[in-house]
Every structure is written in structure tokens, then in C-alpha cells.
Amino acid sequence: MSSMFNRGRVHPAIDLAGRLGSPVMATSNTQVVTFAGWYGGYGNAVITRDAQGRVHLYGHLSAVNTKPGSMLAQGDRLGALGSTGFSTGPHVHYEVKDASGRHIDPATLLFPGRVVTAGFTWTDVRLRPEAFAANSNP
């Protein structure tokens, strides 16, 4: 993880480094795409809302592979890891707000019950399907 949730500066997200062009997938079931395209400093981005009302933002993508109104299941590809917008290198900026609009630490959703360190990368998420278990709908 190249930047952790609210560490050192106001950063209500986690940044997961990875190889340029690596697939970026939806992290929970039943996500409705509310935005897909250029989003200012986030560069190419996808914003979704899940069944629990949480809003997920995936930023700095090199490509967007979905469109507003699309339904995504956990693991569906929504784009490719990139370095667009205000970015200093290839990574996914992953930000989550709860149903009331409050930022929550995305690592608690991706790595439930684990201590997350700066060494985690997008590959750790991508290659570990069990990391998504906490986000599955009942």
C-alpha cells in the first residue's frame, strides 16, 4: 500500500500500487455504476454504489471498462490500473463512504481481520478472492 487511510495527511482512501494496466475489479457484490470517466484530480475513475448504500471510488485508472447504469458483481472488471489525474505513479486510489456519506477505511473491507501494512499492493487484492468475502451480500 503506497498510501494508507488518513495517515500523515488527510487522505480518506488507500492507494494500492500495481503494474500499469492490471485489471481493477469491483470489490463487492451488486454495485451500480453511478459515474465512469474523467473525474478531475482522480483522472479516469469509476464510482459505484453497493447494496449497503456504500459509495466506492476507484481512481487514477488507465482505462474505464464500464458505463453509468451498469451492474457489477464482485470481481467484475471495471477498469485498468493507471496513473491518470494527480498521480505520481501507477496505483488504484480506492475510497469508500458509508450510506451516511462518512469515509470508512477501505482496508477493513478488503482485508477483514488483518493488520494492513504499507507492503500491500493491488495484486494482494486481485489474487485473493477471500479478501472480498466480507463484502458479499447475504
Q: Quote the pLDDT of residue 38.
A: 98
pLDDT tens sequence across 119-138? 666 666 654 444 444 343 33
Distance CA 36, CA 67 (A): 5
Q: Quote the pLDDT of residue 118.
A: 59
Q: Quote the pLDDT of residue 132.
A: 41
Cell for 110?
A: 478488503
Q: Quote the pLDDT of residue 126.
A: 54
Which residues of the chain fall below pLDDT 50?
1-8, 127-138
Q: Quote the pLDDT of residue 78.
A: 95
Going by C-alpha positions, the residue among 112, 114, 100, 13 that lies closest to residue 56 is 13
Q: Quote the pLDDT of residue 114.
A: 67
Q: Quote the pLDDT of residue 122.
A: 66
Q: Please answer whether residues 81 and 99 qualify as being in contact, where contact means their C-beta atoms are separated by less than 8 angstroms.
A: no
Which domains, and CATH codes, for the chain? 14-128 (2.70.70.10)
